[in-house]
C-alpha cells in the first residue's frame, strides 16, 4: 500500500557539516576567532542557523551583539555551499526504491534556498513531491505544523517521518506520526533516549523498516 514518507535533510539524507564548517570558519575568521572543529559543527546543527550561530558564538565567547551580523554573513554564504556535501551511503538507491512505491517529501529546518540548491547539486530533488524549509510561513521544527503541511501536500496515505535528531523525534511525536531514527547523523543524545519506532544505521536497511510501518 502506498504511503507518505517525509525525511529530514541534514544529518539524515546528507552530511552537510563540512560545507557548514567552512562557512562558519570564514565568518569566525573575520572577527579573529578560532575556527570550530567538524565535531563542534555537527553538534551545533539541528535547530536552524539562528541557533547554530548562537552556539558557535558561545563556543568562542563572541558577544550577543554580533549575532545579527554573523547570522547575515553565514546565510549569505550558504546558498552555494554544496561542494563538500554528500549523501550518506545507499541514500540514492533507497530513495529510488521508496519512490517507486511511496510519495516522498522533506521537512527540514534548513533554509529553503540552500535546501533546493543542494538537492539539485546532488541530483535528488526529483524524488520529492513536497519540500518545506525552516523559513516556511508556519513554524520551525519541533513545531509539527510544517511536517503536517508536507504530508497534506503529499496526499492521502499512512504517514512516516525519518530523521536523525531529538528535534525530529519531538516533531514526529507532536504530529502523531511514527518516527524512524537514523543513528549516524547529528543527534546529541544516546539512541535509547530518543523516542522512535525503529532505528537504523545503514540506509540499505530502511526499506524493510518502512514495509513494517506502512
Residues labelled as active-site residues:
8
Count of other CB atoms within 10 angstroms of residue 131: 22
Instruction: Give the neighbor-by-neighbor strand order of the sheet with 103-107.
Output: 128-132, 103-107, 3-7, 158-163, 179-182, 198-200
Dihedral, 49, 82, 111, 26 alpha carbons, nearest 10: 30
72 Cβ contact partners less than 8 Å away, ≥ 6 residues apart: none
155 Cβ contact partners less than 8 Å away, ≥ 6 residues apart: 4, 103
Dihedral, 174, 169, 1, 150 alpha carbons, nearest 10: 60
Give the residue ranges of DSSP H helices in the chain: 17-30, 38-44, 49-59, 67-78, 91-99, 112-121, 145-154, 166-175, 206-213
Amino acid at each position: 500500500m502506498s504511503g507518505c514518507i517525509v525525511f529530514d535533510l541534514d544529518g539524515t539524507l546528507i552530511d552537510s557539516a563540512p560545507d557548514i564548517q567552512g562557512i562558519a570558519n570564514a565568518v569566525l575568521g573575520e572577527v579573529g576567532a578560532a575556527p570550530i572543529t567538524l565535531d563542534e559543527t555537527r553538534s551545533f546543527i539541528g535547530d536552524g542557523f539562528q541557533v547554530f550561530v548562537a552556539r558557535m558564538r558561545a563556543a568562542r565567547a563572541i558577544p550577543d551583539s554580533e549575532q545579527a551580523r554573523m547570522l547575515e554573513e553565514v546565510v549569505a554564504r550558504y546558498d552555494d555551499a554544496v561542494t563538500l556535501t554528500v549523501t550518506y551511503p545507499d541514500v540514492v538507491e533507497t530513495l529510488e526504491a521508496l519512490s517507486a512505491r511511496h510519495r516522498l517529501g522533506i521537512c527540514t529546518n534548513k533554509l529553503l534556498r540552500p535546501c533546493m540548491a543542494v538537492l539539485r547539486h546532488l541530483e535528488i530533488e526529483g524524488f520529492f513531491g513536497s519540500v518545506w524549509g525552516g523559513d516556511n510561513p508556519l513554524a520551525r521544527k519541533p513545531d509539527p505544523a510544517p511536517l503536517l503541511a508536507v504530508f497534506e501536500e503529499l496526499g492521502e496515505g499512512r504517514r512516516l517521518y525519518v530523521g536523525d535528531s531529538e528535534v525530529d523525534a519531538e516533531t514526529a511525536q507532536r504530529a502523531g506520526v511514527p518516527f524512524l531514527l537514523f543513528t549516524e547523523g547529528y543527534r546529541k543524545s544516546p539512541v535509547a533516549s530518543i523516542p522512535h519506532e525503529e532505528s537504523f544505521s545503514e540506509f540499505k536497511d530502511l526499506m524493510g523498516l518502512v514495509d513494517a510501518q506502512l
